[in-house]
A and B are shown apart, each in its own frame.
Chain A
C-alpha cells in the first residue's frame, strides 16, 4: 500500500536526517520505533507531505505521491495526527471535527468520535481549541479528528506523548478498536511497549536508517531484550549508589 524507495532527506543546512530509506508497508498496523532524533517523525512528515524528500520516491496504492501537496495526499486518504497538536483561537472542537469529516457533524456524530477518546461531546463540542484546553485534551481531540476522517492510512506521531496514565490505558483500546472496526491501515510512531505489542509489524529507525523491520513476534523480544539489558545495567548503578550510602 505504501512504498518508500531510496528516500533521503537533508535540511537546508545540509544535515542529513534520513538516508536511503526503502520500506514497503502492506500490513494494517505498523509501529515505527527507535531512539529520539533517529528520524521517525521526519519519516512520518515525509509520508504526509509536510516535508518533501530530497531524494527517492513515495508510492501510495501504486500512485507516485512524492511531489504531491499535503492537501492532495490528504484527499487521497492519508491522515496525520501531530505529536504536538496545534491551537486555534476561535475555532471550536465541532469546527475541526466537521472539517475532518468533510461535512457538518451533528452533536451525535461528534459524540461518537469524542467518546472514543474519552471526552464527553456535550462538554467539548463548543470549546475553542485554545490555551484553555490541556495538552492531554488537545491530544485526544487530535486523535478524534483522525477517527472522523476515517481514511485509508492514519499516521500517529507519538500519540502517547503528553497523555496521562488513565488516558493511556484507553488509548490502547482506541487503536485496538480502530484496527478491528475499520478497514484502514495504522502507522504509529511510538516508544511504548504496549503500543508496539499490538502492531503487526515493527520498524526500527535509527540514525536516519531502517535498522530493523519484521513481524512483532520477531522484533519485539529483541527490543525488550535490549531494554532488559539496560535495566540490569541500571540495577548495577542503583546497587552501587545504595551501597555507597549504606554504612
Chain B
C-alpha cells in the first residue's frame, strides 16, 4: 500500500489519484509497486539490468501506458532503463514521470533512460513530468535521458515539464527521424533557488521530408542557472525548427546555445532564441487591472509556462 507522501507524488507526476485504466507500471523506491498489462500492451521486467520493456502491438489505438516512478527514501539512487517498442500504425499515449520527496540529509536521485523505437506510421504522445519536494538538506537530482528512433512516417510529440523542486538535472534528448517522420518536443522548465538545469537536444533528420520542432519555454528565478543546448542536423531534404524562449529574473543565469547543422542543400533549418526579463509594460498593464506587482509577475510566469 502507498502512504500519503507516495500518493501525493503520484498525483503530481501522473495526475493519478487511483490506479489508472489500461497498462501501467508503478515503481516506488527502486522496486516494482504494481503493474497491469492489456491485450495489446505488455510490460516485461528486464533480466540484465534494472528497468522494463514495454511492447505495444502494431495497430493499437486509443490506449495509454502510465509508468510513474516515485522516491520517498532519502539517500536512494535509482537508475532504470525503460525501452518502448511501438508497433507500426499504433496510436497511443505514454505518461511517464518521476516524483521525489526527500526529507532526509542524503541526496535522492533518479536517472531514467528511456528509449523509443517507434514503428512505421505510428503516432505517440509522450508526456513526462518531473517533480521534487523535500524538507531535508538532501538534494533532489534527476537526469532523464530520452532516445527516440522514428521509422518512416512515425510521429512523436513529447511534452516534458519540470516546475521547480529539482536541484540538479541534466536532461538529454536525442532523436533520429526516417523519411516522412515528425518529432515535436515541448519543454517547460522553472528553476528557483540555487537549482541548476541543463537541457541538451540533438536531433538527426535523416529521411526525406522528415521534420523536427523543438520548443522550449523556461523561467529562471533567484540564483538558478539554466543551460539550453539544441542541435538539429539536417542530413537530407527536411525541416527543422527550434525555439528557446526564456524569462530571466533576480540573479539567475541563462545560457542558450542553439546549433543548426545543414548537411544537405534542401535542409531548411530555423532557430529562434530570446532571453529577457519580464517587460515593464506587461507588469504595468496587469497593475492597471488591480494586481500588485508581485501578483502580476506570478500571472505572467504562470501563463508563460502554462
Contacts and interface: CB of A to CB of B under 8 A. Distances in A.
B285 A74 contact: no
B292 A86 contact: no
B38 interface: no
Contacts of B281: 82, 86
B289 A86 contact: no
A91 B300 contact: yes
A89 B290 contact: no
Interface in B259-294: 279, 281-282, 284-293
A71 interface: yes
A11 interface: no
A78 B290 CA distance: 9
Interface residues of B, number: 22
Contacts of B304: 89-91
B245 A89 contact: yes
A90 B285 contact: no
From DSSP, what is the main secondary structure of chain A's interface residues? mixed
A243 interface: no
B306 interface: yes
Contacts of B305: 90
B288 A74 contact: yes
B299 interface: yes
Contacts of B299: 91, 95, 99
Contact of A88 (B245, B290, B291, B300): B300
A69 B283 CA distance: 13
Contact of A75 (B286, B290, B300): B290
Given A71-B292, A95-B299, A99-B299, A88 B287 contact: no
Contacts of B284: 50, 70, 86
Nearest to A80: B288
Contacts of B285: 82, 85-86
Contacts of A149: 289-290
B290 A102 contact: yes
A91 B288 CA distance: 16
A86 B282 CA distance: 6
Given A50-B284, A86-B282, A89-B245, A71 B303 contact: no
A89 B188 CA distance: 13
Contacts of A145: 289
A187 interface: no
Nearest to B245: A89
A92 B289 CA distance: 15
Contacts of B282: 86, 88
Given A89-B217, A90-B304, A90-B305, 20 more contacts: A69-B287, A71-B287, A71-B291, A71-B293, A74-B288, A75-B290, A78-B288, A80-B288, A85-B285, A88-B282, A89-B245, A89-B304, A90-B217, A90-B303, A91-B299, A95-B303, A96-B289, A99-B289, A102-B290, A145-B289
4 smallest A-B Cβ distances: which pairs? A90-B303, A91-B303, A70-B287, A90-B304
17 contacts: A50-B284, A69-B287, A70-B284, A70-B288, A71-B291, A74-B287, A79-B288, A82-B281, A85-B285, A89-B217, A89-B303, A89-B304, A90-B217, A91-B299, A91-B300, A100-B289, A149-B290
Interface of B: 217, 245, 279, 281-282, 284-293, 299-300, 302-306
